[in-house]
Structure 1
Amino acid sequence: MNSRKWVRMFLTTLLLGGVLTLISSFFIKQDAYARVFHPFQGLEFLGVLLFFAGLGFIFSVISQMGFFAYLTIHQFGLGFFRSLWMPIQVGLIGFALFDLVYFRYQSADGESFWGYFFTALVLFVIALLTAAQKAKETNRKAFIPALFFMVVVTTIEWVPALRTQGFDYVTLMIIPLVACNIYQLLLLHRLTGNRNSSAKKASTS
């Protein structure tokens, strides 16, 4: 992938993160907007918009750092572990999902177990659908690596928000993270031209 394509990927992912976080903030952080609407304060409102857009840019950069870090780790895993790399990834996927449910519930103070279970389930379903699409557009061997990226790497990227006490920033961060990760994962093979024959035929028909 040449520098022009990389810059395109970086900027579009950055924009996606900023826009999604800004839109999500209207629903998740209504209290922040209420303070500048009653009464309306133009400069403060602009400041709130810039704050959440900037936060989204940061989330996008975290997503991109995780994506390129995984590409490096994946190549290392293939070279070092060889055929064991696939089952290792499966094991780490299971551990990450278990961690999202059990360890978070253990550290919580009287919160419902099912809330953590539902969070992990939704992430896993989204990861499954994304990995299936990745495998469809490239090859079936891409399924486990894509699933690993969507579950394990997304969870690692999400850690700063998971350590906070408020539910609002946990939700505010996961939306752009998941969207940016899906976007990068499905865009990469389009930029590099690494698509399977059936996908190429479908795109040209």
Structure 2
Amino acid sequence: MTIRNWVKFFFNALLIGGFVTAVAGLIVRWEFFSDLLAAGETWQFIGALLWMVFLGFTMSVVAQMGFFAYLTVHQFGVNIFKSLTLWNWVQLLIIAVVLFDLIFFRFRLTTEDTGRTLLYLTLLASLVIVSSITAYLKAKWTKKHTLISALFFMIVITTLEWLPALMVRSGNIDTWVTILLFPLLAVNAYQILALPKYNTMSDVDKAKLDARREARRKEKTRAASK
């Protein structure tokens, strides 16, 4: 990918993260934001909203780091197992382990708190459904064998990026766990679906650059021969 296209890719992902976090924050913490509006504290409302946007920017950077780390891990996996089919089976096993870990260890669900259990099951369903749709679109738009890899990235890598919030034990953590999931999902879905487009644009830019270099070389050759 060329520098120009990488910059576009980076800032588009940044904007998606900021926008989704702001919307998720308004919905999940509507009581807090509505109290500010009701009290006429407009600047405090704007400041709190901008803080949510900045948080989204941070989550976007985390997601982009995770994406490029995954590209390296994926290549290592294919090289180690010497077969894409075998690597896909390994990825499916890791997906199952990660989902098991989320349900039985990270979410810390109890039968006493039905509301919290329903919240976390909804978050799990959101993770799986968005990941499945993204993986389906990836396979449809590119190649069928990318289905498992895209599903692995969306579930496993997103969970790893989400893990620091899940590990916190104090404060109003359920609110932040909810808010932080959605920018990670949105940015990761954008990255894995948009990357081929930016790679194609980079190939076109490189071809144009090579053509211009060749034209300049020919021009210099003609000028030297006169």
Q: CA deviation at 1:61?
A: 0.8
Say whether residues 1:21 and 2:21 are aligned partners.
yes
- Which residue in 2 is equivalent to 1:150? 154
- Which residue in 1 is equivalent to 2:166? 162
Deviations 1:117-152 (A, max 9, x none): 443233222211111110111111111110000110
Distance 1:92 1:111, change over 3 A: farther
Q: What is the RMSD of the two structures over their aligned residues, measured on CA atoms?
A: 2.1
Classify the secondary structure of the residue corresponding to 1:140.
coil
| Counterpart mapping for 1:1-205 below 5 A | 1-83=1-83, 84-106=86-108, 110-112=112-114, 115-164=119-168, 166-193=173-200
Q: CA deviation at 1:108?
A: 5.5
In 1, Cα distance between the equivalents of 2:106 and 2:164?
Answer: 13
Contact 1:105 1:111 survives alignment (8 Å): no
Deviations 1:166-205 (A, max 9, x none): 22111111111111111111000111139xxxxxxxxxxx
Classify the secondary structure of the residue corresponding to 2:145.
helix
Q: Which blocks of at least 5 consecutive residues in structure 1 are unaligned?
A: 195-205
TM-score by length of structure 1 reads 0.86
Matched letter for residue 174 of structure 1: L
Distance 1:36 1:120, change over 3 A: closer
Q: CA deviation at 1:101?
A: 1.1
Q: Which blocks of at least 5 consecutive residues in structure 2 are unaligned?
A: 202-226
- Which residue in 1 is equivalent to 2:222? none
Question: Percent same amino acid among aligned pairs?
Answer: 39
Contact 1:32 1:48 survives alignment (8 Å): no
Q: CA deviation at 1:6?
A: 0.7
Q: Which protein has the larger Cα radius of gyration, Structure 1 or Structure 2?
A: 2
